[in-house]
Structure 1
Amino acid sequence: MARPKSEDKRNAILAAAIQAIAEQGASAPTSKIAQRAGVAEGTLFTYFSTKDELFNQLYLEIKTELHGIMLATYPREAALKERMRHAFCNYVGWGVRHPAKRKAIAQLGASERVTEQTRAEAAQLFAQLGALLQESTAEGTLRGLPQPFVSAIMAALADTTMEFAAREPEHAQRYIDSGFEAFWNATSH
């Protein structure tokens, strides 16, 4: 009879994968991930049948966490600018608090190991935020441009904001406010 899987071991594998991917990208070997997690490599494959399954599950888990953070206490009835500020600032705050997850999701996002199905599942999570971006750009400079382009601009500004906020925590709020204003001015005017 097979032993029941441990949620602690699964979480340890995922946490180890985050660190390994952040450092080595999608080429991070499963042996290093298992070693970091404190499990045998065979145990890793008890929880995830392949490296690709591990990476796809990790991608979805990080995206799900990020979605929850960005929409936590989302002010649905607030003005558009305040809703955008909420999403942007929560995204930046998450990235500053979790630099390894931010690096890992960027590496996984660029990897062919993450399937189109997984990407579609993750994109579905962010449909509400996509609608918010469309609303924001409806009258602005970026109107009519594809949503992935607008999302990439937001991500680039957010990444820059995260880098500076993490590097100079004493000025973090100034960078976050300025980063948001740059995004808002680019998208809504």
Structure 2
Amino acid sequence: MARPKSEDKRLALLEAAKEAVAESGLGAATSLIAKKAGVAEGTLFRYFATKDELLNALYLHLKTGLGKMMMENYHPDASVKERVRTVWSGFIDWGLISPTGSKAMRQLAVSDKVTEETLQKVAQLYPELHELANACVTSEFFSCGQSAFADAIFFSLAETTMEFASRDPLEAGNYKTAGFEVMWRAMTKG
């Protein structure tokens, strides 16, 4: 009879995968991930049948935490600019709290490992965020007109903001505000 799976072990494997991907990229060995989690490599494959399954679970895990942070102060009735500002602030705050998570998510986001099914699950987690992103890209707000391009601009400016905010925590709020204003002006028509 197979032993029941533990949620603690599953989370430990996801945290270990986050660290390994942040440090070594998507080529991080499953043996390294298992070692970081304090389990045998065979145990990893009891929880995740393949490495790709693990990477997709990691992406979903990271996006869940990020989405929770971005939704903390989200008000659906606020103006588009204020909703985007809230998302921006939550994203920056999450990146400052979880730099390894941010780095791992960037690796996963540009890979071909994240499946369409996982992307759909992410969109369903926080539909307000998905709708806001689509509304911004397809409306008069973002002049670049393409979601992938808009995402790349957003993430590049966010990474720069996080880098400077982490170097000088006393000025983090000012960097977050300035980064948002640069992003907003760069991406809106006007």
With structure 2 as the length reference, what TM-score do the two structures score? Answer: 0.89
Kindly indicate whether structure 1 or structure 2 has the higher relative contact order, using CA contacts under 8 Å at least 6 residues apart: 1
The whole-number CA distance in structure 2 between the counterparts of 1:113 and 1:146 is 22
Distance 1:80 1:99, change over 3 A: same
Residue 75 (structure 1) aligned with residue 60 (structure 2)? no
The one-letter code of the counterpart of 1:68 is K
Residues 22, 103 of structure 1: 8 Å contact kept = yes
- 107-116 or 45-54, which deviates more: 107-116
Distance 1:144 1:125, change over 3 A: farther
Following TM superposition, by how much is the alpha carbon of 1:134 offset from its aligned partner in structure 2, in angstroms?
A: 5.2
The one-letter code of the counterpart of 2:140 is E
Distance 1:28 1:81, change over 3 A: same
- 29-38 or 125-134, which deviates more: 125-134
Query: For residue 13 of structure 1, what is the aligned residue in structure 2?
Result: 13
User: What CA deviation, in whole Å up to 9, does each residue of 1:14-60 have, x standing for no partner?
Assistant: 11110000000010001011111000111111111111111111111
The one-letter code of the counterpart of 1:109 is A
Query: For residue 183 of structure 2, what is the aligned residue in structure 1?
Result: 183
Residues 76, 83 of structure 1: 8 Å contact kept = yes
The CA RMSD over aligned residues, in Å, is 1.9
Following TM superposition, by how much is the alpha carbon of 1:71 offset from its aligned partner in structure 2, in angstroms?
A: 1.5
Query: For residue 158 of structure 2, what is the aligned residue in structure 1?
Result: 158
Alignment length (residue pairs): 188
Residue 64 (structure 1) aligned with residue 67 (structure 2)? no
Q: Secondary structure at the match of 1:75?
A: coil
* Mapping 1:29-178, distance limit 5 Å: 29-125=29-125, 128-133=128-133, 135-136=135-136, 138-140=139-141, 142-143=142-143, 145-178=145-178
Which consecutive unaligned segments of at least 5 residues does structure 1 have? Answer: none
The whole-number CA distance in structure 2 between the counterparts of 1:71 and 1:153 is 21
Following TM superposition, by how much is the alpha carbon of 1:135 offset from its aligned partner in structure 2, in angstroms?
A: 4.6
Which consecutive unaligned segments of at least 5 residues does structure 2 have? Answer: none
User: What CA deviation, in whole Å up to 9, does each residue of 1:121-178 have, x standing for no partner?
Assistant: 33454653344345556335x4361122222211111111111111211211110010
The whole-number CA distance in structure 2 between the counterparts of 1:109 and 1:78 is 28
Q: Secondary structure at the match of 2:165?
A: helix
The one-letter code of the counterpart of 1:99 is P
The whole-number CA distance in structure 2 between the counterparts of 1:8 and 1:130 is 30
Residues 18, 101 of structure 2: 8 Å contact kept = yes
Residues 136, 187 of structure 1: 8 Å contact kept = no
- 19-28 or 127-136, which deviates more: 127-136
The whole-number CA distance in structure 2 between the counterparts of 1:144 and 1:30 is 39
